[in-house]
Amino acid sequence: MPRLNTEKRWAYKKAWRQAHLEEIKARDKAYDKTHPEKRKAYDKAYNKAHPEKMRASSMLRRARKRGTATEAVDYELIRKQSKMICGICGKKVRPQELSFDHIIPLSKGGAHATWNLQVSHLCCNLRRGPGRTPGSPRLAI
């Protein structure tokens, strides 16, 4: 038999959580401090299960360190627009080879933004390096 007032219960839980956010954060921090091995195992499992999020946060961190412009990036939109075709070599990219390439490199002042990212093979992206500009010809593979 389904439970009644599901929306009310969720609204109550959400309101309670917002009202007690500082207490919850303090409790979670204390737990993490007393159980570091569990926290480390959780983090490791999460990172393994979500490699795309780890790459995205790494790119964002590099952009912020360089002081370039950053914005929220929709990686799924980039995948759909490119139809999974490498922007460097022009060949189809398999999911296990996927990498996102800054068209104007961060080292050249390019922004970490949706308009400045393209799908590429990881090997193409690594071979391209930071020195190539958008007007340069594609790599011969």
Nearest to residue 138, comparing CAs of 109, 103, 113?
103
Q: Number of folded domains in the chain?
A: 1
Kindly state whether residue 14 falls inside one of the protein's structural domains. no
Handedness of CA 28, 33, 38, 41 (dihedral sign): positive
pLDDT at residue 140 in the model? 46
Q: Indicate if the pLDDT at residue 40 is higher than 90.
A: yes
Kindly state whether residue 60 falls inside one of the protein's structural domains. no
pLDDT tens, position by position, 113-131:
999 999 999 898 888 876 6
pLDDT tens, position by position, 43-73:
999 989 988 788 888 888 988 888 888 888 8
- 101 is in which domain, residue-wise? 68-141
pLDDT at residue 105 in the model? 87
Contact 117, 100 (CB under 8 A): yes
Kindly state whether residue 84 falls inside one of the protein's structural domains. yes
pLDDT at residue 3 in the model? 67
**What average pLDDT does this structure show over 84-92?**
93
pTM: 0.61
